[in-house]
């Protein structure tokens, strides 16, 4: 290796040494992928399941990633997690059928407990061994009660999900992710329930799939219907220099025309996505198009209209029994962005009261499992039964909603393009693609074993960093 090789300086293959340039080998090199398997995933908080999947005592779900399996179970004393291996010979005591379908094995262990399919040893929901077949054949030292108990895995609950971490010494989930968790929970995220859950296998590195959603700069070409409906929104952010930007309205249109444009944009965001912008919210907005607004100034009028709309969504959905927060209040007290990332592989897309959520897990250097949920609020007692596994579709299926279908058309071919001769690194905008840089440099911090408190502090900066700038880190 030459003196310029970043691995000599950082100890990380293909490390990011220029924050505006990301080496392409990070997205297909086997050595880099193995470094992530060994040094990233064992130390980060991973979204293991939605809590509505385990509503009853004894309900469990298996979570798998990069060859490791964990059981998440609801017990009488709360949600617990255990490493999924029999204490006898290591056979998984639940699930344990690796596949790429995205299906999570699940069940209820309240009566029978967990039973190893190999020799029939048993454990209860709290991980205590309750039966050893042929106990008399084992020496007493091999049957110590504490030694036979299932090994616990760290688990914390937030925003309606269970998050696990294999590292017993890592900072807590909330300390790692930061204030964005409190902001999301102020928007009733913990009360959201899944309407549907889709999954697909993408022929792309997991980071390529994540990064496709870290900026809105791609809307012009990838989602032309959104740009056509509300070009002023996107042009104000990406198409004009800051001094020329007119904000998310068109000064060439009347207030009424601007409102029609905003509504058309909402309808397109909602098409097939529900959680991103729910049809019930779109209908309330439709009823607000003719409301009297005490100004003809397009910018001021649109802002006033959104405030009035959020007030009506709050009141009308509360009247139906939905646990909706005061949208105007939390927009000020706990602001959230159009996309909020929960490092390293989960993110949410909030708008009004509903959200879409995405989880991406690596299946190899150039393959990943991509899942998306539609989440919304229901009146207490009217929540639907939670889906226990995703509906799996080919990534080019026409059954996906238009927006993810358009994203899926780019991600696999980007993966191919990374192999092009002479394409050595991605060139990032310092102003609106900073999150890609920040994410990759935090990953590098994990790969070289940087101080975990510093990594947690850096991870905090990812909250609200969608379309954000490049930050400096001290690790």
Which three-class secondary structure state does DSSP give residue 390? coil
pLDDT of 3 higher than 50: no
- Residue-averaged pLDDT of the chain: 94
| CATH number of 67's domain | 2.102.10.10
Tens of pLDDT, residue by residue over 144-183, are 999 999 999 999 999 999 999 999 999 999 999 999 999 9
pLDDT of residue 233: 81
Share of the chain above pLDDT 90, in %: 89
Is residue 248 within 8 A of residue 280, CB to CB? The reply is: no
Q: Where are the alpha helices (DSSP H) in 188-273?
A: 206-211, 219-222, 224-229, 231-234, 255-270
- Over residues 182-200, the pLDDT tens digits come to 999 999 999 999 999 999 9
Could you tell me if residue 260 is inside a domain?
A: yes
Residue 17 lies in a domain: no
Grade residue 99 by pLDDT with cuts at 50, 70 and 90. Answer: low
Whose structure tokens read 């296998």? Answer: 201
Residue 284 lies in a domain: yes
Looking at residue 1, its pLDDT comes to 38
Confidence band (pLDDT; 50, 70, 90) for 246? low
What pLDDT shows up at residue 311? 98
Token output for 468: 């954000």
- pLDDT confidence of residue 242: 59
Asked if residue 316 belongs to a domain, the reply is yes
Angle at 154 between CA 153 and CA 160, to 5 degrees: 115
253-272 pLDDT tens trace: 899 999 999 999 999 999 99
Q: Do residues 159 and 52 both lie within one domain?
A: yes
Q: Regarding predicted confidence, which is higher, 235 or 7? A: 235
Q: Are residues 133 and 237 in the same domain?
A: no
Q: Are strands 122-123 and 78-83 parallel, antiparallel or unpaired?
A: unpaired
Query: How many CB atoms are closer than 10 A to CB 126?
Result: 16
Domain coverage including residue 63: 46-165
* Residue 126 is assigned to a structural domain of this protein: yes
State pLDDT tens for residues 365-423: 999 999 999 999 999 999 999 999 999 999 999 999 999 999 999 999 999 999 999 99
325 and 257 together in one domain: yes
How far lies 139's CA from each of 67, 118, 146, 239, in Å?
32, 20, 15, 74
Is residue 344 assigned to a domain? no
Q: Are residues 239 and 131 in the same domain?
A: no
pLDDT at site 181: 98
Q: Identify whether residues 148 and 239 lie together within a single domain.
A: no
Q: Are residues 144 and 234 in the same domain?
A: no
Last residue of a domain, one of 289, 306, 333: 333
pLDDT of residue 17: 97
Examine the fold and report which residue of 304, 333, 362 is the final residue of a domain before the chain moves on.
Answer: 333
Question: In angstroms, how far apart are the furthest CA atoms of the chain?
Answer: 87
Polymer length of the chain: 475
Q: Does 60 share its domain with 124?
A: yes
Q: Are residues 159 and 245 both part of a single domain?
A: no
Q: Tokens standing for 28?
A: 């297909």
Dihedral sign, Cα of residue 374, residue 181, residue 320, residue 326: negative
User: For 22-80, what is each residue's pLDDT tens digit?
Assistant: 999 999 999 999 999 999 999 999 999 999 999 999 999 999 999 999 999 999 999 99
- Cα angle, residue 114 at apex, residues 112 and 117 outer, rounded to 5°: 110
Whether residue 311 is contained in a domain is answered as yes
User: What's the angle, vertex CA 254, arms to CA 251 and CA 260, rounded to 5?
Assistant: 105
pLDDT in the model for residue 251 = 77
pLDDT tens, residue by residue, 318-369? 999 999 999 999 999 999 999 999 999 999 999 999 999 999 999 999 999 9
Residue 7 — very low, low, confident or very high, per pLDDT cuts 50/70/90? low
Q: Which of 333, 362, 380 is the last residue of a domain?
A: 333
Confidence (pTM): 0.94
How many independent structural domains does the chain possess? Answer: 2
What does R_g of the chain's alpha carbons equal in angstroms? 24
Same domain? 139 vs 230: no
Q: Within a domain: residue 297?
A: yes
| Six-digit token string for 57 | 């005592």
Q: Are 224 and 312 in a shared domain?
A: yes
Q: Do 142 and 61 belong to one domain? A: yes
- The answer on 154 and 59 residing in a single domain is yes
Q: Is 396 helix (H, G, I), strand (E, B) or coil?
A: coil
Phi and psi for 228 in degrees, rounded to 5?
-65, -40
């Amino acid at each position: 290796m030459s003196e310029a090789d970043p691995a000599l300086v950082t100890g990380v293959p293909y490390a990011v040494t220029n924050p505006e340039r990301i080496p392409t080998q990070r997205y297909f090199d086997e050595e880099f992928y193995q470094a992530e398997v060994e040094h990233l995933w064992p130390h980060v908080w991973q979204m293991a399941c939605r809590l509505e999947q385990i509503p009853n005592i004894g309900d469990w779900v298996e979570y798998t990633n990069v060859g490791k399996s964990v059981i998440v179970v609801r017990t009488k004393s709360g949600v617990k997690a255990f490493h999924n291996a029999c204490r006898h010979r290591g056979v998984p005591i639940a699930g344990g059928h690796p596949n790429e379908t995205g299906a999570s094995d699940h069940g209820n262990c309240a009566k029978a407990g967990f039973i190893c399919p190999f020799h029939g040893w048993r454990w209860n929901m709290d991980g205590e061994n309750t039966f050893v077949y042929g106990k008399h054949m084992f020496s007493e030292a091999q049957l110590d009660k504490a030694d036979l108990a299932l090994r616990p895995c760290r688990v914390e609950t937030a925003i309606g999900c269970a998050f696990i971490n294999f590292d017993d010494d890592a900072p807590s989930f909330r300390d790692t992710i930061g204030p964005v968790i409190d902001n999301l929970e102020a928007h009733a995220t913990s009360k959201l329930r899944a309407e549907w859950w889709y999954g697909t296998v993408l022929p792309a590195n997991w980071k390529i799939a994540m990064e496709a959603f870290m900026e809105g700069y791609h809307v012009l070409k990838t989602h032309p219907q959104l740009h056509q409906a509300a070009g002023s929104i996107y042009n104000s952010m990406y198409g004009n220099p800051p001094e020329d930007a007119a904000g998310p309205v068109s000064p060439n249109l009347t207030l009424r025309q601007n409102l029609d444009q905003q509504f058309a944009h909402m309808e397109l965001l909602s098409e097939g996505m529900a959680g991103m912008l729910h049809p019930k919210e779109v209908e309330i907005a439709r009823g607000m198009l003719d409301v009297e607004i005490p100004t003809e100034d397009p910018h001021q009028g649109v802002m006033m209209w959104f405030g009035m709309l959020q007030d009506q969504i709050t009141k009308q959905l509360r009247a139906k029994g939905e646990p909706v927060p005061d949208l105007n209040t939390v927009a000020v007290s706990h602001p959230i962005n159009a996309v909020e990332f929960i490092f390293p592989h989960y993110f949410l897309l909030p708008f009004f009261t509903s959200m879409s959520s995405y989880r991406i897990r690596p299946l190899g250097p150039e393959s990943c499992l991509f899942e998306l949920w539609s989440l919304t609020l229901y009146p207490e007692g009217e929540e639907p039964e939670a889906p226990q596994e995703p509906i799996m579709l080919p990534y080019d299926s026409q059954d996906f909603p238009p927006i993810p279908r358009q994203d899926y058309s780019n991600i696999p071919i980007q993966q191919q393009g990374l192999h092009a001769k002479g394409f050595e690194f991605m060139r990032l905008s310092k102003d609106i693609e900073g999150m890609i840089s920040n994410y990759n440099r935090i990953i590098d911090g994990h790969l070289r074993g940087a101080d975990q408190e510093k990594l947690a502090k850096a991870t905090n900066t990812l909250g609200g960093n969608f379309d954000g700038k490049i930050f400096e880190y001290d690790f």
